[in-house]
């Protein structure tokens, strides 16, 4: 086990920032909005813009930000700095205006690094599970009285927001590997949840992303700690390459520093286990989220909490009260005994894990899936794997690919995924364009029956249908069909 890092003097109990007035482009994004809130709480004047209005923007306005819908170079008038994400390209007019006027342009991770500078820093990285692990870790540190600052990529259900402003000496954040921006952080504790190729738009292959994580490990501060998921071969393979001046801690196997025994799954969706170390049993671990993968996330969060010096009994006790993260197997409705789930999964590994967790937890009569593929590059690279990951659903409604910041393409589309599903004998698959989403909601409302489970899945904007779908599922339907595989209105061309 690791010991607590050597104490450093914290000059202030609040974050500091060198600019008095800043503008954030894409301020409603998952990585930008928590930074905006933290800057506001630190006394910085914050303005921002995004391409469409949202609940996130309403919250920012309520917290004091001047937020506009749409982009315009005049937004940077009077600003000391412009803050952007990797999605804001060099040709963007606001960014060009800032450069022309000599206004500093900061990447959001550079801002995050500045905010973290006075604190002990924990960065959670990995291809999957980093948002949940980060939120778990922040929550248990809070429960142990360490009062951390926390930045998460989605709302923690216990807090109702994606950040926590504390007066303690620890700052916890998830570290984004997708654009390699995690290589700008220098944590005291790094957590590696797993390593897998997930962003073919930014990485050539698995070796490329493993090399990026290797560089991330070199950025851990001397005397710090690196925590590995020992169950992930790609993460475990990096162990011999860690800097000599850092400690390592592994979770997963009996030969590791921490592992689980007597793992039990309870009918109410909880997982329980005995947390073990080479010195014997540490205590009872309980997780209220579905899925064996969340048991691994919990183990890593617990390991990081121990490495931070948190009291062990308090860590395990606090974990029992963690409710989860928005859009991570989130239960939206149980109306009329039809379970509606909103989930962020978009990679084949995540899709399989989510479906398996839901089927084991709820044992539905049928599982209906609405899936929005995310990015052309990911869909093209993982076409066969994506189609195979949909096989365990009783029916799939497939939407157009959500491009994110990629250029619109015509050489890869959801029809290619449908064709791959047909080749593998997977179906039924119902393709619905965005202008047919209302029709899709009505179709699902007719098809779903008591005992069924409906999952809205994807990392794009598909979650926008959730409120209407929830309302539709709560109403009895006089025109309810029997949920058969055939549907005369469904076809590969969306007709």
Taking the CA atoms of residue 44, residue 49, residue 55 and residue 59 in that order, the dihedral angle to the nearest 10 degrees is 10
- Bridge partners of 285? 273
Which residue, 49, 80, 107, sits at the end of a domain? 107
CA–CA gap between residue 332 and residue 222 (Å, rounded)? 44
Any idea what the CATH number is for the domain that residue 344 is in? 3.90.190.20
Q: Which two tokens stand for residue 364?
A: 């539905």
Q: What is the CA radius of gyration of the chain?
A: 23
Same domain, residue pair 254 and 135? yes
Which residue, 319, 344, 376, sits at the end of a domain? 319
What pLDDT sits at residue 267? 72
Let me know if 131 is a catalytic residue.
yes
C-alpha dist (Å) from residue 337 to 35, 356, 409: 39, 20, 41
Same domain, residue pair 132 and 206? yes
Same domain, residue pair 380 and 446? yes
**Whole domain around residue 68: which residue ranges?**
21-107
What pLDDT sits at residue 12? 42
pLDDT in tens, 9-39: 443 446 678 999 999 999 999 999 999 999 9
295 belongs to a structural domain: yes
491 belongs to a structural domain: no
Angle (deg, nearest 10), helices 108-116 and 33-41: 40
What pLDDT sits at residue 6? 45
487 belongs to a structural domain: no
Same domain, residue pair 285 and 355? no
Any idea what the CATH number is for the domain that residue 59 is in? 3.40.50.720
* Kind plus residue range of the DSSP H or E element containing 149: strand 149-156
What pLDDT sits at residue 493? 40
CA–CA gap between residue 213 and residue 222 (Å, rounded)? 17
**Residue linked to tokens 């804001």:** 88
Closest CA to 187 of 119, 139, 141: 119
Same domain, residue pair 166 and 313? yes
Number of Cβ within a 10 Å radius of residue 81: 21
* Structural domain total, the chain: 3
Contact 395, 480 (CB under 8 A): no
- Bridge partners of 280? 277
Angle (deg, nearest 10), helices 348-362 and 292-307: 110
Which residue, 319, 354, 369, sits at the end of a domain? 319
E strand segments, 214-291: 225-229, 247-251, 259-265, 271-277, 280-287
484 belongs to a structural domain: no
Let me know if 350 is a catalytic residue.
no
Q: Which two tokens stand for residue 65?
A: 């930000």
CA–CA gap between residue 325 and residue 135 (Å, rounded)? 7
Let me know if 244 is a catalytic residue.
no
Contact 15, 38 (CB under 8 A): yes
Closest CA to 385 of 346, 338, 442, 357: 346
Which one of 94, 134, 173, 174 is the catalytic residue?
174
Question: What are the b/e assignments for 387-400, b being 16+ CB within 10 Å?
Answer: bbbbeebbbbbbbb
Same domain, residue pair 307 and 348? no
Same domain, residue pair 145 and 80? no
Same domain, residue pair 359 and 411? yes
**Which residue stretches of the chain have pLDDT < 70?**
1-15, 477-495
197 belongs to a structural domain: yes
CA–CA gap between residue 447 and residue 162 (Å, rounded)? 35
Which one of 2, 130, 443, 447 is the catalytic residue?
130
Same domain, residue pair 223 and 298? yes
Contact 154, 326 (CB under 8 A): yes
169 belongs to a structural domain: yes
Angle (deg, nearest 10), helices 292-307 and 130-143: 50
Any idea what the CATH number is for the domain that residue 244 is in? 3.40.1190.10
192 belongs to a structural domain: yes
Closest CA to 455 of 407, 397, 376: 397
Same domain, residue pair 260 and 156? yes
282 half-sphere exposure, CB direction, 13 A CA radius:
24
Strand 149-156, strand 161-164: pairing: antiparallel
324 belongs to a structural domain: no
Which one of 2, 94, 131, 361 is the catalytic residue?
131
């Amino acid at each position: 086990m690791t010991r607590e890092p050597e104490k450093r003097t914290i000059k202030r109990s609040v974050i500091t920032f060198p600019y008095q007035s800043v503008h954030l482009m894409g301020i409603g994004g998952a990585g930008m909005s928590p930074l905006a809130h933290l800057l506001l709480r630190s006394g910085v004047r914050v303005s921002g813009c995004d391409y469409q209005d949202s609940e996130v923007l309403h919250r920012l306005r309520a917290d004091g930000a001047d937020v506009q819908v749409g982009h315009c170079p005049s937004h940077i008038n009077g600003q000391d700095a412009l803050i952007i994400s990797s999605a804001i390209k060099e040709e963007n007019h606001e960014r060009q205006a800032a450069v022309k006027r000599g206004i500093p342009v900061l990447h959001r991770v550079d801002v995050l690094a500045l905010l973290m500078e006075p604190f002990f820093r924990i960065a959670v990285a990995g291809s999957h599970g980093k948002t949940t692990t980060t939120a778990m870790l922040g929550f248990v540190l809070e429960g142990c009285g360490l009062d951390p600052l926390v930045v998460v990529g989605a709302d923690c259900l216990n807090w109702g927001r994606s950040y926590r402003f504390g007066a303690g000496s620890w700052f916890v954040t998830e570290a984004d590997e997708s654009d390699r921006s995690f290589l700008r952080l220098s944590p005291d504790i790094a957590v590696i949840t797993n390593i897998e190729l997930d962003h073919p738009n930014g990485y050539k292959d698995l070796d490329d992303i493993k090399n990026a994580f290797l560089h991330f490990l070199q950025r851990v501060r001397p005397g710090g700690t690196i925590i590995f998921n020992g169950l992930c071969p790609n993460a475990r393979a990096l162990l011999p390459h860690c800097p000599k001046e850092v400690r390592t801690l592994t979770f997963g196997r009996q030969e590791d520093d921490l592992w689980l025994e007597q793992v039990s799954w309870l009918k109410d969706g909880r997982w329980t286990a005995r947390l073990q170390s080479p010195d014997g049993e540490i205590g009872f671990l309980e997780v209220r989220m579905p899925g064996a993968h969340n048991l691994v996330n919990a183990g890593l969060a617990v390991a990081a909490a121990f490495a931070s010096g948190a009291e062990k009994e308090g860590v395990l006790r606090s974990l029992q009260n963690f409710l989860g993260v928005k859009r991570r197997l989130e239960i939206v409705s149980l109306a009329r005994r039809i379970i509606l789930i909103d989930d962020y999964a978009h990679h084949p590994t995540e899709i399989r894990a989510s479906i398996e967790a839901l089927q084991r937890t709820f044992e539905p009569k049928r599982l209906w899936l609405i899936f929005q593929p995310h990015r052309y590059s990911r869909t093209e690279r993982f076409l066969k794997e994506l189609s195979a990951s949909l096989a365990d659903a009783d029916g799939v409604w497939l939407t157009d690919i959500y491009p994110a910041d990629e250029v619109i393409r015509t050489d890869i589309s959801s029809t290619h995924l449908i064709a791959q599903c047909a080749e593998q004998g997977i179906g039924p698959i119902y393709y619905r364009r965005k202008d047919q989403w209302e029709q899709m909601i009505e179709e699902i409302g007719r098809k779903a029956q008591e005992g069924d489970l409906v999952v809205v899945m994807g990392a794009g904007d598909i979650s926008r249908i959730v409120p209407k779908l929830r309302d539709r599922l709560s109403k009895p339907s006089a025109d309810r069909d029997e949920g058969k595989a055939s549907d005369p209105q469904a076809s590969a061309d969306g007709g």
